[in-house]
Chains A and B, each alone.
Chain A
Amino acid sequence: MRVIVIRFLKNRISRGANPSQSLALGSLEFELMEILWSRGESSVRDVVGQLSRPLAYTTVMTTLDRLFKKGLLDRHKSDRAFVYSPLFSRQEWERRRAGNLVAGFLSGPHPSRELLLSCLLEAVGEHDTTLLDDLEKKIRSRRKGILRQGQP
């Protein structure tokens, strides 16, 4: 019983350790996540069967366990084997990753903030320079008119 409690606490601690790091995935981790996103709940054997390249059962099992500890997967026991399911949809994972990226930018030095702002301030269209020249001429002539009249 004590072993289970300790393992549970260890898992909890490792899940909450570093959220931005836990969302970053290696190539194999990403491949396994993609299988789970498309299939939903799967056992290790199911995932091995879906892989595009031959990989050892234990390698997949260890990677899935790591993903569970990162807080990306949920699991329960069924017939003495773990069945894994993703905790977030792919969209939600991407949204969280983007959020972490923005937070990283904002906590960074000044140039990275400027870079972020340049992304935020997406351009929507420029005004015609000839029109602006015409308007400026009108403004100059109106200013002269006001000065001549001595009007406030």
Chain B
Amino acid sequence: MILPYTLRLLCLCFASFFVLNFAACLLIRIASKSALRFAESTAASTAARFLIALRMLPFALATLGVLGLCVPSYFWLEPAATSERVGIVCVVLALLGAATWSVSIMRTAPSLFASMRHNRLCRLSGQESYLPGEPSPVVLVETEAPLLAMSGLFRPRLVISRGVLRALSFEELHAALRHEHAHRTSRDNAKRLLLLLAPDIFPFVRPLGALERTWSKFAEWAADDQAASGDSSRAVSLAAALVHVARMGAAPRLPYLFTSLLARDRDLSARVDRLLQPAPILPAPTDLARKPQAQFRIAAFLFAACLAAILLTPSTLSAVHKVLELLLH
């Protein structure tokens, strides 16, 4: 097939994205059992961060590879305004790449719209109120359903039903709100969006589903830990809140991009047992503990900048271009 300059670039981008994503997904799939074992042995918040990073790694590597290496080398070394024959393998790989992207977009868009619609309806049908000890307003919905959720991606708002407000004592409500705030601090709704958006290894084949499910469990556990902050009585109040909300009856079906106290909870018993264990639950990181994190981020940024400077040298780009030529023909 003979393609012009721009279409060839598009074809190469999709093909190289598919190859890189496929290779990285395969490697992570092979290592996933060990990764899950490692996650089980660490603190919930660390496990959640590790698992989401691992899940997003193929997507990040493939995107970086395409945007950071393939595109610059193509623009720099490919003679412009020429038409060239493209091999059938490259076309098939490009089609597969485009298909995996299309599937992930088709999966993300309805969830995003459902979440936005639900969010808007909650705000329209509910009313903004201030709860005691709660600095930001919450959306109070006049229903008896067990609804306590964080809605929204970039400016999440707490949605709570009158029924939950009535069912929980002050301490229980305080602990439950802390749990939801922990989800807001760790931007779990945005992470859910990234999980939906990350393309699969093949269209409709999700080999890293176990990582996603385990991340979901650890994200809940991490929010529980953050809410309890090492205080046993607060942990017991959160456990009691979970049971009281579960007693209120069937949980509402919420969009995927909502984090709820209980909605997707299949391990209620495990969560309550964890909160009731005699050993103190790990405290949330303090400001002092966050300082090394900031230093680590700066170091990571500097490392990435150095790596980019090394990778974008003429010799690297020329080697990448040779590989692209091989892929193209």
Q: B233: which A residues are within 8 A, CB to CB?
A: 143, 146, 151-152
CB of B236 within 8 Å of the partner chain: yes
Q: Does B240 contact A (CB under 8 A)?
A: yes
Bound complex: CA A131 to CA B272 (Å): 11
Q: Is the CB of A138 within 8 A of B272?
A: yes
Q: Name 23 interchain pairs, CB-CB below 8 A, sorted by A.
A: A113-B125, A113-B142, A116-B125, A120-B118, A120-B252, A121-B143, A121-B253, A123-B249, A123-B250, A124-B253, A125-B250, A125-B251, A126-B249, A132-B247, A135-B243, A135-B269, A136-B243, A138-B272, A139-B272, A139-B276, A146-B232, A152-B231, A152-B233
Contact, CB under 8 Å: A152 / B232: yes
Instruction: Write the nearest CB–CB distance from A49 to chain B, whole angstroms.
Output: 40
A131 surroundings in chain B (CB, below 8 A): 268-269
| Known contacts A106-B124, A124-B263; 18 further A-B pairs (Cβ under 8 A) | A106-B125, A110-B142, A113-B125, A117-B125, A117-B145, A121-B147, A123-B250, A123-B253, A124-B251, A127-B268, A131-B269, A138-B273, A138-B276, A139-B236, A139-B276, A143-B233, A146-B232, A152-B233
Chain A 107-150 near chain B by CB (<8 Å), digits 1 or 0 = 00010011011101111111101011001101100110110000
Query: How far, in angstroms, from A120 to B66 measured CA to CA in the complex?
Result: 42
CA–CA, A143 and B169, complex, Å: 15
User: Interface SS of chain B: helix, strand, loop or mixed?
Assistant: helix
Please report which residues of chain B, range 255-290, place their CB below 8 angstroms from some CB of chain A when the two chains form the complex: 263, 268-269, 272-273, 276, 278
Docked-complex contact B243 and A132, CB < 8 angstroms: yes
Number of interface residues of A (CB under 8 A): 29
Residues from chain A with Cβ under 8 Å of B124 in the complex: 106
Least CB distance, B271 to chain A, in whole angstroms: 10
A87 to B293, CA, bound (A): 57
In the complex, the answer to whether B232 meets A139 with C-beta atoms within 8 Å is: no
Q: Which residue of B lies closest to A151 (CB)?
A: B232
| Residues of A that sit less than 8 Å from B by CB | 102, 106, 110, 113-114, 116-118, 120-127, 129, 131-132, 135-136, 138-139, 142-143, 145-146, 151-152
Q: Tell me, in angstroms, the Cα distance from A120 to B159 when the chains sit together.
A: 14
Please give, as numbers and ranges, the residues of chain A lying within 8 Å of B232 by CB-CB distance: 146, 151-152
B141 adjacent to chain A (CB < 8 Å): yes
* Beta-carbon contact of B246 and A139 below 8 Å: no
Is B236 a contact partner of A143 (Cβ separation < 8 A)?
A: yes
Cα–Cα distance between A119 and B273 once the two chains are bound (Å): 34
**At the interface, yes or no: B121 with Cβ under 8 Å from chain A?**
yes
Contacts of B247 in A (CB 8 A): 127, 129, 132
Nearest to B280 among chain A residues (CB) is A151
With A123-B251, A124-B253, A135-B239 known as contacts, the answer to whether A114 contacts B143 (CB < 8 A) is yes
Contact A121 B268 (CB under 8 A): no
Kindly state the separation between the CA atoms of A26 and B232 in the bound complex, as whole angstroms. 65
Q: Across the interface, which residues of A come within 8 angstroms of B253, CB to CB?
A: 121-124
